[in-house]
Amino acid sequence: MKHTPDLSTAAWRKSSYSDGGDNNCIEVADGYPGLVPVRDSKVPDGEVLVFGAASWAAFVTHTVRG
């Protein structure tokens, strides 16, 4: 069973691919070895998805390539 890390002190940052406005933005938290916590910047108290680092890297690579 996978364990969700304690994100109560997470330092969130917007994606470098953000449009700079209030729409279509995600935030990620660094400092969790092997994991990438992700949330919707418009709903900071909402659900957080936690991906394995390799899965996240594959997603980003595929997304950048289109």
Cα(38)–Cα(66) distance, integer angstroms? 20
Q: What are the residues whose beta carbons fall under 8 Å from the beta carbon of 21, sequence distance 6 or more?
A: none
Predicted confidence (pLDDT) at residue 13 exceeds the cutoff of 70: yes
Among 61, 34, 45, smallest CA distance to 12 is for 45
14 pLDDT band (50/70/90 cuts)? Answer: confident
Tokens found for residue 18: 């953000």
pLDDT digit string (tens) for 24-66?
Answer: 788 999 999 999 999 998 898 999 999 999 999 999 899 888 7
Predicted confidence (pLDDT) at residue 9 exceeds the cutoff of 70: yes
